Chain A
Amino acid sequence: MILKMSSLVSMAMRQTPLTCSGHTRPVVDLAFSGITPYGYFLISACKDGKPMLRQGDTGDWIGTFLGHKGAVWGATLNKEATKAATAAADFTAKVWDAVTGDEVLTLAHKHIVKSVNFTEDSNCLLTGGNDKVLRIYDLGKPEAEPQEIAGHTSAIKKALWCNNDQQILSAAEDKTIRLWDKNTKEAVKTLSFDASVSSMEYIPDGEILVITYGRTIAFYSAHSLDLIKAVDAPASIHSASLHPEKDFFVAGGDDFKLYKYDYTTKEEMESYKGHFGPIHCVRFSPDGELYASGSEDGTLRLWQTAVGKTYGLWKCVLPEELSSENSEALYCPPAEIKA
């Protein structure tokens, strides 16, 4: 049996999550940008009303978007990380310049806004929230009325562009996920569940939809909405994310733990403790090297996909190096103290 060197290192090393502090209330949503010439970035939505931008590979804080007057429920970045959008309990969605941190646009809604999503070209913004209506804003003509798509019978939790921005996927408290045609504004397909869908992730490369509800993590084709496979976790799951290369997926929820599964075999590979509260969101970075989790405990944590690999702030240290002079520059986390 041939084991990769990285697997041998992973087997010998214990995962050290990197904790990003700064938020003072639960972190409810997070999103990564694409890979830019300056690396990739991470935005976090928090009930304290102050979404933050961080460097994606280190978790270093870059800035805080100030302006919302209520809990921020959703946050997103465009691919180039030049624009950010946020959805808040103050009945507005805001668009921000993600380089300067300045507020660019405030889009008034009639109720709490829960979800925001840019098209690939960053020209349109999709919003969804408690007024049950999907809205499409043309960011080139912000004073124009948005196009509206109605149909859901309860609050919308998540709305995403899919299939080359020609269709829209929305998940709502009415326990349905609907696929809409952007032009006809008609529902092309509807999926019904017994429980409310807790999260949704769309993977453009491969057209896969990752959905969580109850204890289940399910994978669907984004075109046909046919079920590909489903896995049940030991606890209620709030969010899951599929690795870009589709070999793993991670999930987190009520029991504060992060689970890592093999996508092909559906087997649980690892589980990690660390958060002090339920996990609300989890996402893989665009290069798949790490995943970030946001929790009720107010923190974001970054986790390595290949434990022990040198990446970002993590440094691969061979046993001999630990006792040498070089180790002074490294921070070795103390052993976990069990409560």
Chain B
Amino acid sequence: MRSSMKTPVSVLRLPRGPDPNSRGFDPNSPRFIALCPTTVPSSSSSGSADEGEQRLRAELRERFLRTLLLMTGKRVRFDMHEHVRVHARFGASDIDVLNLQVSDLETPLGVQREALLRCQDVIACSFEA
């Protein structure tokens, strides 16, 4: 039978591709819910040490997020791998803190009007509050 005569197999839809805004691993998927214990213990049976640690973690996280808010619009110095140090105006971070949106990024090749910095490349950022 000539292959051009054959009907192609029908498909319900195409495979879903990656979400550009996140690294995936949906915490609401049945597998995640079944296999991952909740991060915050609901009872104090595990001891106040865990509760204390959770409180500290929450405080640190809140402090980090507030720092990001404070950085908005400011001129920030980014220390990156391979001894790279650049200055730019900080715009925003994405939800997973994978990329930082900056403006007027000063590079050895000139000033980049708009740019995205990969967080995994950034070691530290500093700015005047």
Residues of A within 8 A of B (CB): 11-16, 18-22, 38, 52-54, 58-67, 69, 82, 99-101, 302, 304, 307-308, 313-317, 319, 322, 327, 329-333, 335
Contacts and interface: CB of A to CB of B under 8 A. Distances in A.
B18 A315 contact: no
A14 B9 contact: yes
A12 B2 CA distance: 10
Contacts of B1: 11-12
Contacts of A12: 1, 6-7
Contact of A314 (B10, B24, B32): B10
Given A20-B17, A38-B30, A302-B15, A15 B9 contact: yes
A327 B29 CA distance: 30
Contact of A14 (B3, B14, B30, B35): B3
Given A11-B1, A66-B120, A100-B32, A22 B18 contact: yes
B10 A331 contact: yes
Contacts of A317: 10
A219 B16 CA distance: 35
B83 interface: no
A61 B17 contact: yes
A315 B19 CA distance: 26
Nearest to A308: B9
Given A14-B6, A38-B30, A100-B36, A58 B25 contact: no
B97 to A, nearest CB: 11
Given A63-B24, A66-B23, A99-B35, A18 B7 contact: no
Contacts of B31: 38, 99
Contacts of A101: 23-25
B109 interface: no
A13 B98 CA distance: 44
A101 B36 CA distance: 12
A221 B81 CA distance: 48
Interface in B1-53: 1, 3, 6-19, 23-27, 29-32, 34-36
Contacts of B98: 66
Nearest to B32: A99
Given A66-B23, A99-B36, A100-B36, A18 B10 contact: no
A58 B10 contact: no
A99 to B, nearest CB: 5
B11 A52 contact: no
B15 A18 contact: yes
A59 B12 CA distance: 13
